[in-house]
Structure 1
Amino acid sequence: MNQYHKDYTESLGANLNSVKSISKFTKNTAVIGQYAEKVVIEFLKDMVNPIKISTGTIIYDGADIDNSPQFDLIVWDANPLPPIFKIDDFGLVPRNSVIGIIEIKRTDYQKGLDHIKEIYDNRVNFLPGYMKTDSSMKPGFLGVVCISENYKIDGNNTYTKLRDDTKNSVVHLIEKNNGDYQINHKGIYELINFVIGIMKNHKKVGKEFSINLPIKQSFPAKPQNLP
């Protein structure tokens, strides 16, 4: 990575680094993690602009609507179809408009990691068909843990096991060690590279999406005996 890209990616780390200042006023990791989550989301919105990011679910023909999962961040383009019931950052996004899925958790708590694994295991149901059939495409899913409280350098922890199980499709951005917070620049690089990858996918596919709707004749057919 050249110096320009190194400086660029570290800009996110600089914003996340302010968690050290927040920790002077609160030691609640959930609160600090919430701040880190907001930093990441705002950064991602700027990075994918004019593409959009919403929370909500992904809809498609044949979906199990009784068990529609809630996604933390859906990266989408309004082509071929925009989300429906869209209010602020919430929307029901058609699958063929999805560019990528990001599950973002404030800490590496067990339930959050389990949710990331569940979405990863079922990702093919929620990603557009081109991501399943074109082997040159980058993966369309990433799990992001804002603050890892249980990370161990020897890899003896649930988070590291999850990285192995998901082929490194989960990253962490901050490590909490003895009450101190350290930025994990490798995780930041992986997050940015993921976004670059899905945006390249999108450009490669371009506007090739289309939907075929049956066209019904809305007016009477002309009688055969008329000129």
Structure 2
Amino acid sequence: MGFFSPMIRLNQNEISFPNPQHYDGHEGIIAYGGDLSMERIWFAYENGIFPWFNPGEEILWWCPDPRFVIFPEDLKISKSMRKILNNNLFTFTENKDFAAVIKNCQEVSRKGQDGTWISKELIESFTKLHHYGLAKSIEVWQNNELVGGFYGLQIGKVFCGESMFAKVSNASKAGFIHFVETHKKELALIDCQSHTEHLESLGATMIPKREFLKILQENNERR
């Protein structure tokens, strides 16, 4: 069983984290500090940890319990969304414009949110990860205009979603459904990190942290 302890400050010169299997941190926060280098971010995600913090504040590293995820076979598609997809209101691409997707995720305003956690340093590191084929983007187009999308990291057979945006109604939902339906045979799980009604409506659910970490480890091809 895990235990609650004071938050651990990371050494900026050493890429390491407390083991989230045995350390519960404080309200899901595993550690703080460190940096946002490509190497640290990749190591964090391989261990079920992700950064999330307010601009100008310390970097916070999270591994919440429970974890919000979606199993591909549990994807829910409403009749209205199926109609939108069947009417081909949108077209979809992958990795066609990663830079535009992550920039829109940074800039597009969201209800109930002031500002963004997507800093210049995060963009630089995720862009490097994209160049190595580790981060991917899904673009949603309408009349040749980018109207939605999302990006994340592919850890073996687990896709770790980072952020999504939509400039027109249902664009990000349509992109997410397309992505899951296209890749469901090669995906064991999609990590949604924290609860949103948007993703819950598509079939996302809470599972214990230990179950999430077990699935992540079993489906990481590098392990």
Q: Which has the larger radius of gyration?
A: 1
Higher helix proportion (structure 1 or 2): 1
Tell me the TM-score normalized by structure 1.
Answer: 0.32
Tell me the TM-score normalized by structure 2.
Answer: 0.33
